[in-house]
Chain A
Amino acid sequence: MIKIPPYLKKGDTIGITCPAGYLEKEKVKACISTLQKWGFEVMVGKTLGSSSRNYFSGTDEQRLNELQAMLDDDSIKAVLCGRGGYGVGRIIDDIDFSNFKRKPKWIIGFSDITVLHSHLNSKLKIASLHAPMASAFNDGENEYIQSFHKALIGKKRKYTCIKHPLNKEGTATGELVGGNLALLTNLIGTSSDINTNKKILFIEDISEYIYSIDRMFYQLKRSGKLISLAGLIIGGFTEIKDTVRPFGKTVYEVINDIVKEYDYPVCFNFPVSHGKENYALKVGIQHQLKITSKIVSLSEL
């Protein structure tokens, strides 16, 4: 049974930390003021705009210690990851989740944060929030940022999107899991690997070659992750690259070719992505995916 962390109330504190790549302080201003406007207190970690001179927001130890402190501090009700990039996989096995397991809180982010979502889902059975991170707040309070707020305060969410010619119609009910394709495949064989059996899987990625996406979907298939899904949600694949000798298919055609043998419903171009279109999704919580000839809807149950 999945544990759902307490939803946030006005006056609760959200901690912001960077467990992966470096993030300038400038880029977090809009995020902080929006969270405050919503009535939350914000605690900002030192990894944000740190003195780090390389790719990361701090050393492994600094990133680990800050995330650990925010997990252990009972006055912090949610931990928002400032940005993704790369780095959670380097510290995941050193995080002590014992206090967090007793007193769960919302962990928020996407992309590299998929490592945390997967680990929480597979090892700790605690729900988490796959949602826009700090920089996304710079685009203004659009519906995706609003979805972040509504999800966090416990409103049951229902998202809809327009049909796509490759969609496979049907209705599926199951626990929602997923995230970034490169990370989901990188975790295969490790203790953070997710079980997708009878679940609704959502996937997005950025800046990958088409052949590489093909290879990663073969990996999902060959490791048994696609055969017994309840449903599949294909999000945005942004900034896609192709080889000098073109692959000859679009990303969605590539994915469709691999999953068309299965009977479960599949939708394409769902608004979960590295682009602006990125609804807050509650990983670990039961959802219903309904795909008709007219519309796609994903409802929290």
Chain B
Amino acid sequence: MKRKDFLSSIIPMGAVFSNIARGKLVLNDPDASSKIPPYLKKGDTVGICCVAGYITLEEVKPSVDKIKEWGFDIKLGDTIGKRDHTFGGTDQERLNDLQQMLNDTNIKAILCARGGYGSIRIIDKLNFTKFIAHPKWIIGFSDATVLHAHINRNFGIATIHSKMCNSFPDDWKTADADQVISIESIRKCFTGEKMEYSIPSSAKNKTGIGHGILIGGNLKTIETLADSVSDINTDGKILFVEDKDEYLYSIDRMFWNLKRSGKLDNLKGLIIGGFKTMKDDPGEEFGMTLEEIVLEKITDCNYPVCFDFPVGHQKNNMALKCGIIHKLAVSDAASTLTEIK
């Protein structure tokens, strides 16, 4: 056998082996969807706990009332109303609360009460054995991106990226329509409705169609997970990112991290959610828009890109099923994200 032929015959095998070794093979298979926790039926129990920042009992009441009105029981964790400085209880208390809820097979979904900061302090101490055997919906966003990323990367179990308890309005009659729709979308997600969101196109979008597992969350949090066991693998996936209270230079630096760590190379689509940026200091204007910051990183890429998608720290923050195959179709008229299976 000529050396050239020999080499070409072993390269595909090598590629397969390296995929297996890195645990990517299954997750990368575009036909394989991840494990989907059982959807909720009326009477099922939703657990609420604090994995990060603290929240009072009074602040979770609107969400408790609403979820009960939807026909579900609520189990409030011990961390609700607990406070350790900025956290909803000590690391140990937050860890215990979430661990109990992961292990309790009567709880069919766990809603994080709010974000803030703190999930990364407990993620490596959680035992997911029971959760893997009996998956349930983990719901939240912002700091909870740690949970979405970790669960996707390690267990391939679907999760829901959505508003949390602190976003449920006190008065539904005067609540913002987008806020109401966003909260309704949580119920639709975990009761098993196929989700589809369509928005008018932004002039900066890149048109096209992509299919892939949906993955993403808070940009800063994703950067914080780089090269850790919770780091996301974005190959063949549709990535969504959002952030708030960051300077444009900082957003630019984070997108360089995504680009330079290879996370933008092999996407099937890119969804840019809300980015409430900090105003540049006088005389320190960054000189680029968010759209320019994003697009300059992916000039060589052909996948569709959608800006202004309703996900982020804002009223219109639609529930998204992470870990499930979606289709992103971006045309001149509209951008549509559709759950496939």
**B287 interface hit (Cβ, 8 Å):** yes
Q: Mark B220-263, 1 if CB is under 8 A from A, else 0.
A: 00011111111100000000000000000100111011001110
Interface of chain A, main secondary structure: loop
Contact of A219 with B228 at beta-carbon distance under 8 Å, contacts A54-B285, A55-B249, A246-B86 already known: yes
**A72 interface hit (Cβ, 8 Å):** no
**Cβ contact of B227, chosen from A189, A215, A248, cutoff 8 A:** A189
Chain A, residue nearest B286 (CB) = A55
Contact in complex: B224, A54 (CB < 8 Å): no
Contact in complex: A55, B284 (CB < 8 Å): yes
- B interface list, Cβ under 8 A from A: 53-54, 84-86, 117, 120-121, 124, 223-231, 249, 252-254, 256-257, 260-262, 280, 284-287
Contact in complex: A55, B120 (CB < 8 Å): no
Cα separation A90 to B292 with both chains bound (whole Å): 13
Contact in complex: A191, B260 (CB < 8 Å): yes
Contact in complex: A211, B86 (CB < 8 Å): yes
Interface of chain B, main secondary structure: loop
Cα separation A219 to B254 with both chains bound (whole Å): 14
Chain A, residue nearest B54 (CB) = A245
Cα separation A130 to B204 with both chains bound (whole Å): 41
**Cβ contact of B280, chosen from A55, A211, A247, cutoff 8 A:** A55
Tell me the minimal C-beta distance from B124 to chain A in angstroms.
7
**A277 interface hit (Cβ, 8 Å):** no
Measured between beta carbons, the chain B residues less than 8 angstroms from A219 are 120, 224-226, 228
Chain B, residue nearest A243 (CB) = B86
Contact in complex: A93, B260 (CB < 8 Å): yes
Measured between beta carbons, the chain A residues less than 8 angstroms from B230 are 222
Contact in complex: B224, A215 (CB < 8 Å): yes
Name the residue in B227, B257, B280, B284 with the highest tally of chain A Cβ atoms < 10 Å from its Cβ: B227
Contact in complex: B260, A215 (CB < 8 Å): no
| A86-B252, A187-B257, A211-B86 given; 5 more Cβ-contact pairs under 8 Å | A21-B284, A54-B285, A215-B117, A245-B85, A246-B85
Cα separation A19 to B231 with both chains bound (whole Å): 30
- A interface list, Cβ under 8 A from B: 21-22, 53-56, 86, 89-90, 93, 185-193, 211, 214-216, 218-219, 222-224, 243, 245-249
Cα separation A21 to B286 with both chains bound (whole Å): 10
Contact of A248 with B257 at beta-carbon distance under 8 Å, contacts A219-B226, A222-B229, A223-B228 already known: no
Cα separation A215 to B121 with both chains bound (whole Å): 8
Cα separation A189 to B258 with both chains bound (whole Å): 9
Measured between beta carbons, the chain B residues less than 8 angstroms from A223 are 226-228
Cα separation A288 to B284 with both chains bound (whole Å): 40
Cα separation A247 to B54 with both chains bound (whole Å): 12
Cα separation A248 to B286 with both chains bound (whole Å): 34
Contact in complex: A245, B120 (CB < 8 Å): no
Contact in complex: B287, A190 (CB < 8 Å): no
Chain A, residue nearest B248 (CB) = A55
Chain A, residue nearest B281 (CB) = A55
Contact in complex: B253, A89 (CB < 8 Å): yes
**Cβ contact of A218, chosen from B224, B229, B285, cutoff 8 A:** B224
Measured between beta carbons, the chain B residues less than 8 angstroms from A243 are 86
Chain B, residue nearest A89 (CB) = B256
Measured between beta carbons, the chain B residues less than 8 angstroms from A245 are 53-54, 85-86
Contact in complex: B287, A54 (CB < 8 Å): yes
Measured between beta carbons, the chain A residues less than 8 angstroms from B225 are 219, 222
Chain B, residue nearest A246 (CB) = B85
Contact of A222 with B53 at beta-carbon distance under 8 Å, contacts A93-B260, A186-B254 already known: no
Cα separation A214 to B116 with both chains bound (whole Å): 13
Measured between beta carbons, the chain A residues less than 8 angstroms from B120 are 215, 218-219, 222
Cα separation A36 to B277 with both chains bound (whole Å): 43
Measured between beta carbons, the chain B residues less than 8 angstroms from A89 are 253, 256, 260
Measured between beta carbons, the chain B residues less than 8 angstroms from A185 are 223-224, 226
Cα separation A243 to B225 with both chains bound (whole Å): 22
Cα separation A101 to B74 with both chains bound (whole Å): 64
Cα separation A193 to B121 with both chains bound (whole Å): 23
Measured between beta carbons, the chain A residues less than 8 angstroms from B224 are 185, 215-216, 218-219
Cα separation A83 to B314 with both chains bound (whole Å): 36
25 contacts between A and B (CB under 8 A): A54-B286, A54-B287, A55-B286, A89-B256, A89-B260, A93-B260, A185-B224, A186-B223, A186-B254, A186-B257, A187-B260, A188-B227, A188-B257, A189-B262, A190-B260, A192-B260, A215-B224, A218-B120, A218-B224, A222-B225, A223-B226, A243-B86, A245-B53, A245-B85, A245-B86
Measured between beta carbons, the chain B residues less than 8 angstroms from A224 are 227
Tell me the minimal C-beta distance from B22 to chain A in angstroms.
14
Measured between beta carbons, the chain A residues less than 8 angstroms from B227 are 188-189, 193, 223-224
Measured between beta carbons, the chain A residues less than 8 angstroms from B286 are 54-55
Measured between beta carbons, the chain A residues less than 8 angstroms from B254 are 186
Cα separation A189 to B227 with both chains bound (whole Å): 5
Chain A, residue nearest B226 (CB) = A189
Tell me the minimal C-beta distance from B118 to chain A in angstroms.
8
Contact in complex: A247, B287 (CB < 8 Å): no
**Cβ contact of A189, chosen from B85, B231, B249, B285, cutoff 8 A:** B231
Tell me the minimal C-beta distance from B121 to chain A in angstroms.
7
Cα separation A222 to B225 with both chains bound (whole Å): 8
Contact in complex: A247, B226 (CB < 8 Å): no
| The 10 A-B residue pairs with the shortest CB-CB distance in the complex, in nearest-first order | A248-B85, A54-B287, A189-B261, A222-B228, A189-B226, A190-B260, A223-B227, A188-B226, A245-B86, A86-B249
**Cβ contact of B253, chosen from A55, A86, A188, A214, cutoff 8 A:** A86
